[in-house]
Amino acid sequence: MDSTRAQTTAGSSERPTTPVPSPFIDPVTPVGSTPYGSRPGSNPGSTSGFSAPGSNIPQRYFHSRRVRPGEVQQPWKEKKDPKEKWVTIIPCIGLVVGLAVAGFLVWHGISSVVNHKYCPVLTEDWSNGFDEKIWTREVECGGFGYALTATYTCGNQLLIDKKYRNGQFDYTTNSEENSYVKDGLLHIRPTLQDEKLITTDNIMNLTEMGICTSPLLKNCVAGTNSTNGTIINPVKSARINSRKGGKIKYGRVEVQARFPEGKWLWPAIWMLPVEEKYGPWPASGEMDIAESRGNDWKYAQGGNDIISSTLHWGPDPANDAWWRTNVKHRASHTSYSATFHTFGIEWSEKYIFTYVDSRLLQVLYTNFQTKLWERGDFPLANKNGTRYIDPWSQTGHESTPFDQEFYLIINLGVGATNGWFENGRDKKPWVDGSPNAARDFWDARNEWKKTWKNDGEMVVESVKMWQQCD
């Protein structure tokens, strides 16, 4: 029951002057408001001085209140505890010390960076075409890489160490069909082998032809034999080196290039020693600046969006410690086949690092604070029981075997049987261990050849080499 009605019924017929709020009515919302709780344009008792028509609630005006002296607190006039100042001083001291430490670390980092003086050795922009005084086109058909010990006969000749580390399917030529300069750019283009050499039994002996650049016969002879299923290299490509006109011991190298796009292509920019002072590969070292694959980005091992940089070193091929100095780098939102990139290496007696486009974007970094023989943790002996002897111990250099002259190699390989292209991936048409791997690859040419965009070319814009000369 409304309290106002209760009072009227109890003893008076007159309406009370001041209504008593009902507990069932919202005292805030004025009577007559909309069902949605909206208020009239001028609320009763508002500070505007207006009230709703017909309302008995007295008007209420704005009242000011004078602040009396002593009622407002003034903490700044109070006497402070002397210890309170340390609340400010201690953080300030910490901030100053932190800035000082940060400044020292920055200074120490900058001062520790060695800025060597470099003297130019080679600046190649192909403006003079292919300069044979500097560059050599390597002519071989042995599959490249290094042997794992095996023998076979070809006619009356005994060929030794036929099983190769790479087992590439390409035969590198000195023909402009596979390497040529056009519009200031070097093109390395793979092409299909002459089909007659694949379908007819024959032997190709590059030594007899007088064009093989390898002193080893095994790298200069290939043949097609319909009985055992072997064939001559199914693809022709190119591999060039700067041994005649560009070699350095410590320094920098930069190659501006666009890698190829297409299945089973293997572009590489790398360096080998001029002399094998410490023994056959990998005892004298190898520096891979950038290697990639032409397969697209979905390729599990890394396609044309990924490069890898590697150092090869060890007492023999079975103990190559490359996996301790190997790093991959992915292109950012692009591929190395989409545009030109600068692939570089900086090499000194203290370190080696590779980079892409800028020295700040390092890929592989290896320092020589520890001798490589110790870092390699090699076994005491090989599988035949022959004890290993450190071939680098007599130099006194932590950087050995990377303390001698190296030259540059640029090549475009095709296929391989060494695991560079993993079996069963991306519909790979051959198996590495098969003696008919090259023929299986050739038979699938209609599938992989159509993926070679721009004819599968690797294009090189410039090569620069500097010798450390401080």
Q: What percent of the chain has pLDDT over 90?
A: 70
CB neighbourhood size of 151 (10 A):
11
pLDDT over threshold 60, residue 35: no
pLDDT over threshold 90, residue 110: no
pLDDT over threshold 80, residue 263: yes
Residue 90's SS3 state is: helix
Give the CATH number for residue 382: 2.60.120.200
Q: What is the pLDDT of residues 188-209, one digit of tens each?
A: 999 999 999 999 999 999 999 9
Q: What is the pLDDT of residues 337-375, one digit of tens each?
A: 999 999 999 999 999 999 999 998 999 999 999 999 999
Q: How many domains does the chain have?
A: 1
For residues 206 and 217, give the distance between their C-alpha atoms in angstroms, rounded to a whole number: 9
The DSSP line for 47-71 is TBS---TT--SPP-B----PPPTTS
- Please check whether residue 245 lies inside any domain of the structure: yes
406 is in which domain, residue-wise? 118-138+168-200+231-468
- Please check whether residue 259 lies inside any domain of the structure: yes
- Please check whether residue 279 lies inside any domain of the structure: yes
pTM of the model: 0.76
The DSSP line for 190-253 is -EEPPHHHHHS-EEEETTTTT----SSGGGTEEEEBTTTTB-S-SEEE-EEE-TTT-EESSEEE
CB 311 within 8 A of CB 285: yes
For residues 414 and 457, give the distance between their C-alpha atoms in angstroms, rounded to a whole number: 12
- Please check whether residue 99 lies inside any domain of the structure: no
- Please check whether residue 157 lies inside any domain of the structure: no
Q: What is the pLDDT of residues 65-103, one digit of tens each?
A: 677 777 777 777 777 777 778 888 899 999 999 999 999
Highest mean pLDDT among 24-38, 261-275, 361-375: 261-275
| 141: nearest Cα among 85, 205, 195 | 205
pLDDT over threshold 50, residue 32: no
- Please check whether residue 325 lies inside any domain of the structure: yes
Mean pLDDT of 419-438: 95
CB 233 within 8 A of CB 190: no
- Please check whether residue 395 lies inside any domain of the structure: yes
- Please check whether residue 49 lies inside any domain of the structure: no
**What pLDDT was estimated at residue 146?**
64
**What pLDDT was estimated at residue 5?**
45
Mean pLDDT of 418-447: 95
CB neighbourhood size of 393 (10 A):
10
